Structure 1
Amino acid sequence: MDWYSIVKFLHVVTAILWVGGGFVLFLLGMLAERAGNLEDKLWAIRASGQLGGRFFAPMSMLTLLFGLVMCGLWIGFSDLWIVIGLAGYATTFSIGMFIFKPTGERMGAMIAKDGITPAVLATGQRMMSVARFDYAVMLVIIADMVLKPTVRDVGILAGMVLVVAAGATLAFGGGRRLVESAA
């Protein structure tokens, strides 16, 4: 086995832990929401906030680190799929650090102070809406890493744009209705 294979393995494992772990919490929140189980939904949202800095951020940074090592030593940084992957990473990392982490902390403080209120539910719903966009971006990153599109792969690139647009629509277009129904 060569060093490239070891680094690639570590890149894939940390990506699975990062994306898969977050997806499970997102799915638990969605299932709880559909079942009308507010307690389980809030548990999933709080767990996302608590694990954000302790687990998801380190796993995402290790994913990035191993990917950068592969690019720096073997692949390079000029291929379109590398640029798309880095842009997607920057997007999801920013969402995690600047939206999920502070929102989860704010919700925890609100619950500790006043219990579960309509404001807490609305905040949680907004967080779930943003998660839809976040996972659309992650789906594009995964497709990007597997398919490795070039500028000639117009169909793949168009599909990626559609997935991000659908995620944005679900997150920001349909989110108002969901927040109103939760309040």
Structure 2
Amino acid sequence: MDWYPIVKLLHVVAATIWVGGGFTMILVGTLADRANDQETLMALLKATAKLGKLLFMPSSLATLVSGLIMTSVWTGFSELWVIIGLCGYAAAFVTGTFVLKPWTQKIAAMLARDGITPAAVALGRRTLRFGKFDYIVMAIVVADMVLKPTLHNTGELTAMAVLMIGGAVVIFARRETAGTAAA
């Protein structure tokens, strides 16, 4: 049996766990935040601190390693879609390692020490905002992996850029809502 399909299967399964698990966390967090359900939001972020080490980091590394193996054998590293995918992975790694991980760990410590406080909720909402943007980047990487754009695919590349810039504006330039400010 050829080993390439096995590595590709590992890549797809690992990416599905990583992206799907994170998307579910973002969706539940967004619904809890919109409902001003601070208990659910805090429980979710506390669970995220644990799942980072158990689920997100291993599945993201398996995605990267299997992708690097396939790329080194199949296309090489000069294709535009490979470069975009690696940049997206790097952005997700940096966000996860230096923003989401420390903030969710800090929230877990705050909850253990003081329970649900306005400071914990505020940090939780900021963490959720960064998580949302991280998943816009992940959606672009998934589209990139499927569409495999070249420099000639200006429509696809433009759509990816608009999604990233528009998403950043919507997520980070948004004013606090009444429910968020009341917390």
So what's the TM-score if we normalise by structure 2? 0.94
Q: Which residue of 2 aligns with 1:118?
A: 118
Q: Which residue of 2 aligns with 1:144?
A: 144
Distance 2:70 2:11 in 1: 9
Distance 1:165 1:114 in 2: 37
Question: How many residue pairs end up in the alignment?
Answer: 182
Shift, 1:180, TM fit: 5.4
Distance 1:89 1:97 in 2: 12
Matches within 5 A, 1:90-101: 90-101=90-101
- Relative contact order: is structure 1 or structure 2 higher (C-alpha 8 Å, sep ≥ 6)? 2
Name the SS of the counterpart of 1:77 in structure 2. Answer: coil
Residue range with higher mean Cα deviation, 13-22 or 158-167? 158-167
Q: Is the 8 A contact 1:135 1:167 kept in 2?
A: no
Residue range with higher mean Cα deviation, 88-97 or 27-36? 27-36
Q: Is the 8 A contact 2:18 2:56 kept in 1?
A: yes
Distance 1:109 1:82 in 2: 38
Q: Is the 8 A contact 1:140 1:160 kept in 2?
A: yes
Match status 1:168 vs 2:176: no
Q: Which residue of 2 aligns with 1:132?
A: 132
Matches within 5 A, 1:36-55: 36-55=36-55
Q: Is the 8 A contact 1:133 1:168 kept in 2?
A: yes
Name the SS of the counterpart of 1:75 in structure 2. Answer: coil
AA at the equivalent of 2:176: R
Q: Is the 8 A contact 2:10 2:66 kept in 1?
A: yes
Distance 1:151 1:74 in 2: 19
Structure-2 change in CA distance of 1:140 and 1:102 (3 Å): same
Runs of 5+ in structure 1 lacking a partner?
Answer: none
Query: Greater share of helix residues, 1 or 2?
Result: 1
Q: Is the 8 A contact 2:36 2:180 kept in 1?
A: no
Q: Is the 8 A contact 2:49 2:101 kept in 1?
A: yes
Residue range with higher mean Cα deviation, 27-36 or 86-95? 27-36
Q: Deviations over 1:95-137 (max 9, x none)?
A: 1111111001111111122211110010000001111110110
Name the SS of the counterpart of 2:149 in structure 1. Answer: coil
Q: Deviations over 1:63-111 (max 9, x none)?
A: 0000000011222111000000000000011111111110011111111
So what's the TM-score if we normalise by structure 1? 0.94
AA at the equivalent of 2:11: H
AA at the equivalent of 1:129: R
Q: Is the 8 A contact 1:4 1:70 kept in 2?
A: yes
Q: Is the 8 A contact 2:80 2:149 kept in 1?
A: yes
> How well do the aligned residues superpose, as a CA RMSD in angstroms?
1.4
Matches within 5 A, 1:58-69: 58-69=58-69
